[in-house]
Amino acid sequence: QGYFVYDSKKSGSQTVSHLRFGPRSIRAPYLVSAASFVGCHQFGLIERTEVLDRAGRGATLLLNCPVEPDRVWDSLSRSVQEKILAKQIELYVIDAGRIAREAGLGRRTNTVLQTCFFAISGVIERERAIAAIKASIEKTYGKRGAEIVKRNIEAVDRSLAALHRVEIPERVSSERDAPELVPPGAPEFVRAVTAAMMAGRGDELPVSALPVDGTYPSGTTKYEKRNISDFVAAWDAQLCIQCGNCSFVCPHSVIRSRYYDPGHLSGAPDGFRSAPLNGAGLPDARYTLQVYVEDCTGCGLCVEACPVSAADEPGRKAINLESREPLLAAERDNIAFFEQLPENDRTRVDFGTVRGTQFLEPLFEFSGACAGCGETPYLKLLSQLFGDRLTVANATGCSSIYGGNQPTTPWTVDGHGRGPAWSNSLFEDNAEFGLGLRLAADRHTELAQRRLSELREQVGAELVDEILTARQVRESELEAQRERIAELERRLDRTDEQGNGPVADLRSVLDHLIRRSVWIVGGDGWAYDIGAGGLDHVLASGKNVNVLVMDTEVYSNTGGQMSKATPLGAVAKFSAAGKSVPTKDLALQAIAYAGVYVARVAFGADPQQTLRAFREAEAYDGPSLIIAYSHCVAHGYDMREGLGQQYGAVASGHWPLIRYDPVVRADGGNPFLLDSPRPRMSLADYRKGELRFRALAAAQPTEAERLLGLAQQVADQRWRLYEEMATRGANEFPSNPRRPAEEANGQGPA
């Protein structure tokens, strides 16, 4: 019998399995409270959660621990040692991460720990269990190739030799207390409610402890410090050229950069690294790239993105993966000092370059997304560019799970307390939900402008005119508008209105005098399939909404089912024999409306084009659609190779990079811009790197070859169409039937 309690993290997730074994039917309608066997598969959980509370007297504890067996006891905190002694627990340890790496399994420790469980639990005889495990490996992984089967069987054999029983001393030797789950300076709600949920005690909270309206505080993932990877990114200041690539591709926002006056280095920890800023105009400034090691998932995308290598050691780059434990204490001090440095002035940062954007604070951080996720870099960029005035409607899917599920929130706020407002309705109505947020924001803006005009004489005609006519496109213009709003608030404080009235009305909507950036976010399952009708309705509305589709070409969150974005010939759930119809071209559908800004991007292939598309889409006064290629574990390769696969998708013509800008058409130019060069590799060469295509070739080679030929034809035909569109004259495209931006809002084109 099994009961399973699990969180929604996609990397370093926590699952508590309550298992009972016996020769007769088990009908216990309750969780295990006195287990005879407890397995802790992540070393950090032994102190962060109450793992041993459900262990019975004389229980066996299997601990996955990167420490040598003779040092394990001393590495445990006092409270853990006390529980082991009090309950007379028998302790076994194994470094499952090392065994998995040596066997070629990377970070996958499930085979190792499953073997250890059957070896020491006594549920069935050891020899019988090992034979069954190996048979299961051949059945489960056979379709992935003989090499994968061989590696897993090797891991089984290595596990038995690496499993050690730890001799338990008679008394507690540790003087170290387990660290508090959240720091004492955390907000009261975080300490009282969030921490209880993080510890697995959320069901003990009374209803009265929870927010009445369902609104939860932002920026709480920073308190988790999950330490889920044994290897983390480490910066080499001497090699670094300060390009910003590593920070740009980091899925979890653990790599941050700042430049600052050298005077701020006073009092820096001994190990704090900095280098002269590589940039004109600030000859004395220093530069630091800081890695948040406790939040790093060790995916390695930063290493793959780094363009430089040491001359005497080609394998060493300006950022590398190193063992976490030796870095931990020093980096905690470095992070604390780094966070005291002044944030870079947004009005002086170059928003037009990848490097420049990485001096902007991300307002999406430390999510529970997969290590190496291909979606989250887009959300991070969104938060860096527009986060302090951003409203997000998020479709249900991966992005809503790692973006807003209990107990913590990765969307956060800046030093002024401003940040994204995020909400999730359903899967099927997200486009309509986001349009509603846009319409509501517009009504609030109209109310604010009307009330401000009514108070013209009381607060000053000149200030009112400046606020109502302010252009709000560049960051300097937005900052100037914020200063005007601050002055308006001061003048409102001097009015003598009592109770409700125009002043109170205006105060309630003051924020809406700053231009809002409304984004509708979701995956391809939503945009291509279940929410397609709503998305079409929104794009046809002409309203100033931005849509970001993070296209993994499959329903990722629910386990890899086929969507209309799944490529021809790919194996997925519901297309086990390979998808037999081509992908829907969502970009061309949107372009047909003439008044929609459309882009296809892939940050791993061309980050600069991605950045440009995001900025153009947000500046366009009308509906915008960005279709963003997102590599995914469902594609069947190590996520560290995600950037290379994105490059291959573009280079093969599988994913052409385009932008369609109605503003260019209005200016007399060709609005269709083909940003990627002609295909320079075959679709077959690109596809051989992904299991979703190789699986069909192994099972049905003839059918796989047929579908590959059809897919190549489709890719070639689409490329010829795009290339022809890129050479047309402006008059060969329909003009935007809606009013130009300068007529609509009196501000001129954005």
Q: Note the pLDDT of residue 743.
A: 43
Q: Going by CATH, does the domain composed of 552-741 fall within 3.40.50.970?
A: yes
Backbone angles phi, psi at 309, to 5 degrees: -135, 155
DSSP conformation class of 471: -
Domain spanning 218-360, CATH architecture:
2-Layer Sandwich (3.30)
- Identity (one letter) of the amino acid at 686? Y
Round to whole Å and give the CA distance between 38 and 431. 46
- Identity (one letter) of the amino acid at 323? S
Q: How many residues does the chain have?
A: 750
258, 273 contact by CB (below 8 A) = no
Residue 746 has pLDDT above 50, yes or no: no
- Reduce the DSSP state of residue 6 to 3 states and report it: strand
The domain ranges of the chain are 2-166, 182-212, 218-360, 432-513, 552-741
Q: Note the pLDDT of residue 314.
A: 86
Rounded mean pLDDT of 549-556? Answer: 96
- Identity (one letter) of the amino acid at 264? H
Q: How many helices (H) and strands (E) does the chain have?
A: 30, 21
Helical (H) or strand (E) element with 390 = strand 390-394
Mean pLDDT estimate for the chain: 93
Taking only Cα atoms into account, the Rg of the chain, rounded to an integer number of angstroms, comes to: 28
Cα 80 from chain centre: 33
pLDDT digits (tens, 9 = 90+) for 475-527: 999 999 999 999 999 999 988 776 678 899 999 999 999 999 999 999 999 99
Rounded mean pLDDT of 227-249? Answer: 96
Q: Note the pLDDT of residue 306.
A: 97
The pLDDT confidence band at residue 742, using thresholds 50, 70 and 90, is very low
Of 563, 553, 566, 689, give the one whose Cα is nearest residue 630: 553
CA neighbours closer than 13 Å in the CB half-sphere of residue 131: 5
- What CATH class has 2-166? alpha beta
Of 89, 18, 25, give the one whose Cα is nearest residue 59: 89
C-alpha distance from residue 35 to each of 18, 19, 52, 57, 682 (Å): 9, 9, 9, 8, 56
622, 542 contact by CB (below 8 A) = yes
Residue 562 has pLDDT above 70, yes or no: yes
533, 523 contact by CB (below 8 A) = no
Residue 323 has pLDDT above 70, yes or no: yes
pLDDT digits (tens, 9 = 90+) for 329-368: 999 999 999 999 999 999 999 999 999 999 999 999 999 9
pTM listed for this prediction: 0.92
661, 673 contact by CB (below 8 A) = yes
b/e code 159-194 from CB counts within 10 Å (16+ = b): beebbbebeeeeebebeeeeeebbeeebeeebbebb
Q: Of all residues in the chain, what percent carry a pLDDT higher than 90?
A: 83
Contacts of residue 665, Cβ cutoff 8 Å, sequence gap at least 6: 594, 671, 730, 733, 735, 736
Helices (H), 163-285: 188-189, 195-198, 245-249
Round to whole Å and give the CA distance between 237 and 279. 15
The pLDDT confidence band at residue 738, using thresholds 50, 70 and 90, is low
Helices (H), 354-429: 354-357, 376-386, 398-404
* Tokens 């302090």 found at: 388
The pLDDT confidence band at residue 380, using thresholds 50, 70 and 90, is very high
99, 116 contact by CB (below 8 A) = no
The pLDDT confidence band at residue 650, using thresholds 50, 70 and 90, is very high
User: 358, exposed or middle or buried, with CB in 10 Å at 0-12, 13-18, 19+?
Assistant: buried
Of 252, 462, 216, give the one whose Cα is nearest residue 377: 252
Q: Note the pLDDT of residue 305.
A: 98
pLDDT digits (tens, 9 = 90+) for 586-633: 999 999 999 999 999 999 999 999 999 999 999 999 999 999 999 999
pLDDT digits (tens, 9 = 90+) for 700-727: 999 999 999 999 999 999 999 999 999 9
Tokens at 324, concatenated: 């976490």
C-alpha distance from residue 666 to each of 181, 612, 662 (Å): 57, 19, 6
